[in-house]
Amino acid sequence: MVTLAKLETFAAEGIEVTVIQPSEYHYYSGMGPGMLGGTYSADDIRFATRKQVEARGAKFVLGKAEKIDAEKQLVYLEGEDTALPYDVLSCNAGSYVPDDLVARKSENIFYSKPIEELQRAKESILRMAATKEFTIAVIGSGPSAIEISGNIHQLCRQHGAVMPKIQLFSGSSFMSNRPEKVRKLVRQTLLKKGISILQAGRVIRVEGTQIFLKSGEMYEADLIFPAVGVKPSAIFAASGLPVGPDGGLLVNDYLQSVNFSNIFGGGDCIHFSSQPLDKVGVYAVRQNHVLYNNLMASLKGKVLEKFDPGGKYLLIYNLGDGDGVFSKWFLTFGGKLAFRIKDYIDRKFITAFQS
């Protein structure tokens, strides 16, 4: 995002920039659950990529990058015969929610990425809530699952609609990589909303409206949200580029491909070779300026800058209804103040790039 905001600095150096994106808008995923819950509109959490790119003298291509030929320095687009050439490539392809659990896809299944999917989910929930009692299942044990669960509750409560039976299938690993106090506060908040947390068995398969557990049990739900974490874009493995264990572009301390010095990347789509990084937005934010500086330095033949992941980072969860959980260092608390802090930080961040 910093690189996009500074595209005119490349033009000033006589460098041509092409931005490839499958949508004319880019959504900030940290505010996605809030859009589902109705706290934010779609315009609140996105910025107009095409408009900003073209206003800064660069070229915008609406399309999905499908393959990278690193030897020939070409990017191939899905459904297109011609490829786009590059001298330096910046990869910011993000991540996706794997659908390994889903044996048979249907219109009642929604994912948290792409973010636009949550808008479709919102419309489906309200449409169903206006006609009957129904059940919503959220499958997952991490931040995405808990935030989606809480914001579904907010959506139905605010619209005076029928409150669905909300079931969170977390298995035994509910928020397992978070401090005990955080897990306790999140659990208490969700239970107060009447959300069931099912930890007895792991989900192994989803077929239509049926959810099958490893224990042999089967549940049914009208709407299902697989929120089982994210994986880096598959484009790098498909292109034969060096990748980490998670499939992310393997980069060195300069956010540079370990095999191709003119390919860089940041955010969820990379695997930082020095140490594995959690798939949280704070690292993408910290990488922003280093990525911009190194793209420019690479083009101008200057010295690259090392990326330092930094230490502990702030965690705030939006659990719907104005409730949140805040955690950093020794300080952990839940309630309205936690959400207000997150809301302030998120709005300030996205507004800076929208303008």
Q: What pLDDT sits at residue 22?
A: 94
Residues with Cβ < 8 Å from 279, sequence gap 6 or more?
95, 229, 230, 268
Handedness of CA 338, 342, 348, 354 (dihedral sign): negative
Q: What pLDDT sits at residue 320?
A: 97
What is the rounded distance in angstroms from the CA atom of residue 285 to the CA atom of residue 267? 8
Q: What pLDDT sits at residue 34?
A: 97
Spacing of C-alpha 247 from chain mean position: 16
Within 10 A of 113 (CB to CB), how many other CB atoms are there?
Answer: 18
In the chain, what are the domain boundaries?
Answer: 2-96+231-300, 102-229
CB 99 within 8 A of CB 226: yes
Q: In what order do the strands lie in the sheet with 331-335?
A: 315-318, 324-328, 331-335
Q: What angle, 0 to 180 degrees and rounded to 10, lies between the N-to-C axes of helices 143-158 and 116-129?
A: 40
Taking alpha carbons only, the member of 116, 166, 197, 150 closest to residue 39 is 150
Q: What pLDDT sits at residue 329?
A: 87
Q: What pLDDT sits at residue 292?
A: 97
**Residue 96 CB-half CA count within 13 A:** 8
What residue spans of 159-280 are helical by DSSP H? Answer: 180-192, 235-238
What is the rounded distance in angstroms from the CA atom of residue 227 to the CA atom of residue 112? 7
Angstrom CA distances, 281 to 29, 59, 127, 196, 295, stand at: 8, 27, 32, 28, 20
Which CATH number does the domain 102-229 belong to among 3.40.50.11540, 3.50.50.60, 3.40.50.300, 3.30.70.1450?
A: 3.50.50.60
Is domain 2-96+231-300 annotated with CATH 3.30.70.100?
no
Examine domains 2-96+231-300 and 102-229 and report if their fold is the same: yes
What residue spans of the chain are helical by DSSP H? Answer: 2-5, 7-12, 32-37, 49-55, 116-129, 143-158, 180-192, 235-238, 281-300, 336-354
Which residue has 């959504």 as its token pair? 27
How does pLDDT run along the chain (355 residues), one tens digit per residue? 899 999 999 999 999 999 999 999 999 999 999 999 999 999 999 999 999 999 999 999 999 999 999 999 999 999 998 899 999 999 999 998 988 889 877 889 999 888 999 999 999 999 999 888 999 999 999 999 999 999 999 999 999 878 999 999 999 899 988 899 999 999 999 999 999 999 988 999 999 999 999 989 999 999 999 999 889 999 999 999 999 999 999 999 999 999 999 999 999 999 999 998 988 889 999 999 999 999 999 999 999 999 999 888 899 999 999 999 999 988 999 999 999 999 999 999 999 888 7
Residues with Cβ < 8 Å from 160, sequence gap 6 or more?
none
> What percent of the residues of the chain are helix, what percent strand, and what percent coil, each to the nearest 5?
35, 25, 40
What is the rounded distance in angstroms from the CA atom of residue 129 to the CA atom of residue 223? 11
Measured distance between the N- and C-terminal CA atoms of the chain, rounded to whole angstroms:
12
Residues with Cβ < 8 Å from 180, sequence gap 6 or more?
none
Taking alpha carbons only, the member of 167, 105, 165 closest to residue 129 is 165
